Chains A and B, each alone.
Chain A
Amino acid sequence: MENVYHVTQIADDKGPVGSALSADYSIKTKALVTVLQNEARLAGSAVICGCANLTSPNSGEVTPTCELYCCAQLSFVSVHAAQPSSYSKGWSAGWRMSESVCLQMSLSEKSDEELGNLLSQYGIKHGPIVGSTRHLYESKLGKAMEQASVKTSSDKTYYREEEEEVTYITYHSAATRKRSANTKPERADRCCLPRCQSVLTCRVKRSTEQHGVERPDADTEAAVQVTYSSTNHTSVRSGEPTGDKSTGSLWKMILVLLPLAVLSAVCYYAYAYIV
Chain B
Amino acid sequence: MSSTSQKHKDFVAEPMGEKPVMALAGIGEVLGKRLEDKGFDKAYVVLGQFLVLKKDEELFRDWLKDTCGANVKQQGDCYGCLKEWCDAFL
Which residues of chain B are within 8 angstroms of A241 by Cβ–Cβ distance?
A: none
- Residues A130 and B52 in contact, CB atoms below 8 Å apart: yes
What is the size, in residues, of chain B's interface with A at 8 Å between Cβ atoms?
9
| Interface positions of A from 94 to 129, Cβ below 8 Å from B | 125-128
- Residues A136 and B62 in contact, CB atoms below 8 Å apart: yes
| Interface positions of B from 36 to 72, Cβ below 8 Å from A | 49, 52-54, 56, 59, 62-63, 66
The CA of A140 and the CA of B56, in the complex, are separated in Å by 14
- Residues B62 and A128 in contact, CB atoms below 8 Å apart: no
Total A-B pairs, Cβ < 8 A: 25
- Residues A127 and B53 in contact, CB atoms below 8 Å apart: yes
Chain B interface, >50% SS class: helix
Q: Which residue of A lies closest to B39 (CB)?
A: A132
Which residues of chain A are within 8 angstroms of B66 by Cβ–Cβ distance?
A: 135-136, 139
Q: Which of A126, A132, A139, A140 contacts B49 (CB 8 A)?
A: A132
Which residues of chain A are within 8 angstroms of B62 by Cβ–Cβ distance?
A: 136, 140
Chain B residues proximal to chain A, CB less than 8 Å: 49, 52-54, 56, 59, 62-63, 66
Which residues of chain A are within 8 angstroms of B63 by Cβ–Cβ distance?
A: 133, 136
Which residues of chain A are within 8 angstroms of B49 by Cβ–Cβ distance?
A: 132-133
The CA of A139 and the CA of B49, in the complex, are separated in Å by 17
- Residues A125 and B52 in contact, CB atoms below 8 Å apart: no
Q: Which of A130, A135, A136 contacts B59 (CB 8 A)?
A: A136
